[in-house]
Structure 1
Amino acid sequence: MSSFAVTATSHSSAPAALVYAALLDAESWSSWTSYYEVEMELPAGLERPVRVGDLRNVRSRLGRVSCRERIVELVPDQRFSYEQAAEPLASHHGSVNLTRSPHGGTDITWSATYRHSFPLMDSLRRRRLQVLVHDLASYANSMVSRHS
C-alpha cells in the first residue's frame, strides 16, 4: 500500500484572522461544511481557547465516519495542523495554511497526507478536500458580508 497526499486551494475575501477563527471554532463547522460536525474534547464546563494537544471528534453528517484528531500546530492567522489520534486512519495528517493574497483577502491551502492509500478512496478524498476548502472560503466570505 502506498501513501497519498492531496492539496486543495481556495481564496477568501476575508482576512486571515477571520478564516483562522472559523477553523478553531468547532461549533461553526456544521454551518460551513456539509460533510462534518466537529466537537472539541474538553472537560465539562471548561471554556478556553484551543491549544496544541487538544483533541476533537470529527463526524460525518451521515454518521458513517468518525475520527479523533489531535491539534499539533497553531500559528495564529497562518497555520492550523492536526493529525489522526485514533484508528482507523491513525496515519492521517492535515494542515491548513493561510497567506495574505496580493489582491486582498486570504489564499487558503489545505493539505492532507495519508500513510495508507486506498485507490478507490483517493479521488473521493481529493474531491472532499476541495469542497471543504471552498466551503471554508465561502463561510469566511459570508462573515465579511454580514459585518459590512
Structure 2
Amino acid sequence: MPYLAVTATSRSSAPAALVYAALLDAESWPSWTSYYQVEWELPTGVERPARVGDLRTIRSRLGRVCCRERIVEMVPDQRFSYDHAAGLFTSHRGSVDLAPAPHGRTDITWSATYRRTLPLLDKLRRRRLQVLAHDLASYANSIVSRHS
C-alpha cells in the first residue's frame, strides 16, 4: 500500500532548546494542541526525562485514546522522532526537526509518513500537521514573551 509523506514548517522566535522542551513536556500539550491529554507511560515511581523507547498516550478532547507513540530518536534541541505503537494510524511515523534561524529563532520542520487509506484523509493529515507545527511555534513564542 502506498504511503503519504507530509511536511509542515513554521518558525519560532524561541531558541531550539525551548522548542524541544515543549515537545517533551506532555503536560503542556493540551494548552497548545487540540489534544485533551498527553501522558508519558513510565513505570510507577519512576520520574525521569523521556528517552528512546518510552511510550506516551494521546487522548482526544472526547477522552478517547487517539494513539500510543513510541519515541524512536532523540537528539536534544535538534530532533524528536516517534512512531505509533497503537491506534488508528499504526503505520504513522513522525519527526520534528529543529534548526537555528537568524536572530536566535528556530525553524521547525514536522514531517510524517502515513499509510494511505482514503483520499480525504490526505488533506486532513496535511492540515493537521501544519496546525501542529504552527501551534508549537506559537506556544514557544508565548513562553519567550512571558519571560522577556
Q: TM-score range by the shorter chain?
A: over 0.9
Shift of the 3–36 alpha-carbon distance from structure 1 to 2, 3 Å rule, reads farther
Unaligned runs of 5+ in 1: none
Give the TM-score normalised by structure 2: 0.93
Task: Name the amino acid aligned to 2:33.
Answer: T
Which has the larger displacement, 38-47 or 51-60?
Answer: 38-47
Q: What does 1:24-35 correspond to in 2, within 5 Å?
A: 24-35=24-35
Task: Name the amino acid aligned to 1:24.
Answer: L
2:52 and 2:73 in contact (8 A); partners too: yes
Query: Could you say what secondary structure the match of 2:34 adopts?
Result: coil
- In 1, Cα distance between the equivalents of 2:96 and 2:79? 6
2:4 and 2:115 in contact (8 A); partners too: yes
Which has the larger displacement, 125-134 or 57-66?
Answer: 57-66
- In 2, Cα distance between the equivalents of 1:95 and 1:81? 4
| Aligned residue pair count | 148
Which has the larger displacement, 41-50 or 30-39?
Answer: 30-39
Which residue of structure 1 aligns with residue 141 of structure 2?
141
Which residue of structure 2 aligns with residue 127 of structure 1?
127
Return the offset for 1:35: 3.7
Q: What does 1:12-91 correspond to in 2, within 5 Å?
A: 12-63=12-63, 66-91=66-91
Query: Could you say what secondary structure the match of 2:113 adopts?
Result: strand
Return the offset for 1:37: 2.5
Which residue of structure 1 aligns with residue 11 of structure 2?
11
Return the offset for 1:132: 0.7
- In 2, Cα distance between the equivalents of 1:49 and 1:86? 22
Unaligned runs of 5+ in 2: none
Query: Could you say what secondary structure the match of 1:48 adopts?
Result: coil
Task: Name the amino acid aligned to 1:105.
Answer: R
2:116 and 2:122 in contact (8 A); partners too: no
Task: Name the amino acid aligned to 1:110.
Answer: W
Coordinate RMSD, CA, aligned: 1.4
Which residue of structure 2 aligns with residue 108 of structure 1?
108
Query: Could you say what secondary structure the match of 1:95 adopts?
Result: strand
Task: Name the amino acid aligned to 2:38.
Answer: V
Return the offset for 1:120: 1.3
1:43-73 superposed Cα distances (whole Å, 9 cap, x missing partner): 2221101000000001222345511110000
Give the TM-score normalised by structure 1: 0.93
Query: Could you say what secondary structure the match of 2:102 adopts?
Result: coil
Return the offset for 1:126: 0.7
1:4 and 1:117 in contact (8 A); partners too: no
